[in-house]
C-alpha cells in the first residue's frame, strides 16, 4: 500500500468486469488491460473522475487523455468525422489507432479530458476485457497508460501495481498485453492530411503522413518519457559489467526483446524488459540496436525518450 485506497484486484471474468463497471459508474478509477498497454480508466463525462486520473498519475494538466469507446458509431457523438477519418476508423477499429479529431460542441465530455484543446483523441479498443467493460457501462472511458506520469508503461497487472497500488480503486488482471506499445496517434486535418503525432503499432504507407513536433498536441512526444529511472545507452552491441543489457537479434542480453529479430515480438516485450532492467541491481541499462522499420520506428521512439534523463 502506497496511497489512500485499498486497490482491489479483479479477475478478467464476468464478476470482475461487473465490479469494474460499478466502480467506474460511481466515478472511480480502474486499470484495465487493452491490446496495447494497461489503461487507467475513468468515465470521460465526469470532470471529477477525470481529475482523479491526473492526480493518481501525477500527470501534468496540459497532457490530454485518450477517450475509449465501444464502436465507431459511439465515437461520432463526440467528434466530427470527415471522409478520411471515417475511412481510417473503418480500416483500423477496433484496434491500436487513436484519431485526433475536431470535438463536437457540447459533446458531454469533461473539458479536462482534452486539456482545453478544440480536438479530442478517440480510440475503439480491440481487447475483449476493455470492450466488455465499455459495453457493460455504455459510457466513454478516458484511459491513459496505467503508470505514474513519465515512467515505463505497464503490460501486466503487476507493473500497474508497482506504481499505482493504493492510488487507484481496482485493477483487472487480464495477463500480458499482446501488443505492448501504445496506440499510433494520428490527427486528421481539414484538408484530408494525416499527421502522425505518435508512432505505434499501426504504420502508414510512407508519404501518407507528416511528422509534427507540436508540443501541446503530442505531449507523449515530450523529450523525457517512459523513464526506467536509470541511465540508458542505445545501440549497444555489448554490455559493461554495471549495465543490464537488453538484447535484440544476435545481441544476447540479460533480457531479450526478440532473439529471432522479430519486431512485433520486440514491441510486445519492450516494457517488460525495461521494467526488469529498472528492478535489477545494476545501475545502468544498455539496449541493442533495433531496426528502424515498421513497428521498429515506434520502439525506437520510446527508447529514445527512455534514454533522456528526467530533470
State the residues that interact with ligand AMP by CB under 6 A: 63-66, 100, 114, 117, 119-121, 144-145, 182, 185, 197-198, 217-220
Is the CB of 100 or the CB of 188 nearer to ligand AMP?
100
CB of 18 to ligand AMP, least distance (A): 25
Instruction: Return the one option of Mg ion, ligand AMP, none that residue 219 interacts with (CB less than 5 to 8 A, by type).
Output: ligand AMP
Helices (H), 93-142: 128-137
**Three-class DSSP category at 103:** strand
Residue nearest ligand AMP, CB atom distance: 220
For cell 476508423, the residue is: 89
CB of 197 to ligand AMP, least distance (A): 5
CB of 40 to ligand AMP, least distance (A): 8
Is the CB of 145 or the CB of 300 nearer to Mg ion?
145
Instruction: Return the one option of Mg ion, ligand AMP, none that residue 66 interacts with (CB less than 5 to 8 A, by type).
Output: ligand AMP
Q: Report the sign of the C-alpha dihedral through residues 291, 294, 296, 302, in that order.
A: positive
- 117, containing H or E segment: none
Question: For the chain, what's the residue count?
Answer: 311
Q: State how far the Cα of 109 lies from the Cα of 122, in Å rounded to an integer.
A: 12
Instruction: Return the one option of Mg ion, ligand AMP, none that residue 156 interacts with (CB less than 5 to 8 A, by type).
Output: none
HSE-up of 245 (CA within 13 Å, CB side)? 18
115 burial level (CB within 10 Å; 0-12, 13-18, 19+) = middle
Q: Are 17 and 8 in contact (CB under 8 A)?
A: no
**Three-class DSSP category at 268:** helix
Q: Are 124 and 66 in contact (CB under 8 A)?
A: no
Is the CB of 118 or the CB of 250 nearer to ligand AMP?
118
CB of 180 to ligand AMP, least distance (A): 13
Is the CB of 38 or the CB of 244 nearer to ligand AMP?
38
Is the CB of 116 or the CB of 166 nearer to ligand AMP?
116
CB of 59 to ligand AMP, least distance (A): 8
Instruction: Return the one option of Mg ion, ligand AMP, none that residue 142 interacts with (CB less than 5 to 8 A, by type).
Output: none
CB of 182 to Mg ion, least distance (A): 6
Interacting residue ranges for Mg ion, rule: CB under 5 A: 145
The DSSP line for 164-179 is HTTTSSEEEE----SS
Is the CB of 30 or the CB of 100 nearer to ligand AMP?
100
135 CB contacts (<8 Å, ≥6 apart)?
A: 70
Instruction: Return the one option of Mg ion, ligand AMP, none that residue 117 interacts with (CB less than 5 to 8 A, by type).
Output: ligand AMP
Amino acid at each position: 500500500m502506497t496511497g489512500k485506497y485499498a486497490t482491489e484486484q479483479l479477475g478478467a471474468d464476468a464478476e470482475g468486469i461487473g465490479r469494474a463497471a460499478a466502480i467506474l459508474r460511481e466515478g472511480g478509477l480502474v486499470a484495465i488491460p487493452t491490446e496495447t498497454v494497461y489503461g487507467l480508466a475513468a468515465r470521460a463525462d465526469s470532470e471529477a473522475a477525470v481529475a482523479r486520473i491526473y492526480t493518481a498519475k501525477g500527470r501534468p494538466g496540459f497532457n490530454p487523455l485518450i477517450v475509449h469507446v465501444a464502436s465507431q458509431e459511439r465515437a461520432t457523438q463526440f467528434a466530427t468525422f470527415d471522409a478520411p477519418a471515417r475511412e481510417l476508423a473503418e480500416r483500423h477499429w477496433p484496434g491500436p489507432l487513436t484519431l485526433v479529431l475536431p470535438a463536437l460542441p457540447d459533446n458531454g465530455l469533461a473539458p479536462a479530458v482534452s486539456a482545453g484543446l478544440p480536438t479530442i483523441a478517440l480510440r475503439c479498443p480491440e481487447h475483449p476485457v476493455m470492450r466488455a467493460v465499455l459495453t457493460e457501462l455504455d459510457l466513454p472511458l478516458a484511459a491513459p497508460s496505467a503508470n505514474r506520469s513519465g515512467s515505463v508503461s505497464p503490460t501486466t497487472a503487476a507493473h500497474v501495481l508497482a506504481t499505482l497500488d493504493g492510488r487507484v480503486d481496482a485493477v483487472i488482471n487480464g495477463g500480458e498485453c499482446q501488443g505492448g506499445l501504445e496506440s499510433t496517434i494520428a490527427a486528421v486535418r481539414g484538408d484530408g492530411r494525416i499527421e502522425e503525432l505518435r508512432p505505434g503499432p499501426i504504420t502508414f504507407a510512407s508519404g501518407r503522413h507528416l511528422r509534427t513536433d507540436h508540443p501541446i498536441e503530442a505531449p507523449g512526444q515530450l523529450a523525457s518519457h517512459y523513464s526506467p529511472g536509470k541511465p540508458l545507452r542505445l545501440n549497444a552491441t555489448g554490455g559493461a559489467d554495471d549495465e543490464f543489457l537488453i538484447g535484440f537479434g544476435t545481441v544476447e542480453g540479460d533480457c531479450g526483446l526478440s532473439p529471432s529479430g522479430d519486431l512485433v515480438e520486440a514491441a510486445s516485450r519492450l516494457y517488460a524488459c525495461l521494467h526488469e532492467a529498472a528492478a535489477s541491481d545494476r545501475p545502468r541499462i544498455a539496449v541493442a540496436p533495433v531496426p528502424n522499420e515498421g513497428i521498429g520506428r515506434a520502439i525506437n521512439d520510446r527508447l529514445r525518450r527512455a534514454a533522456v534523463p528526467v530533470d
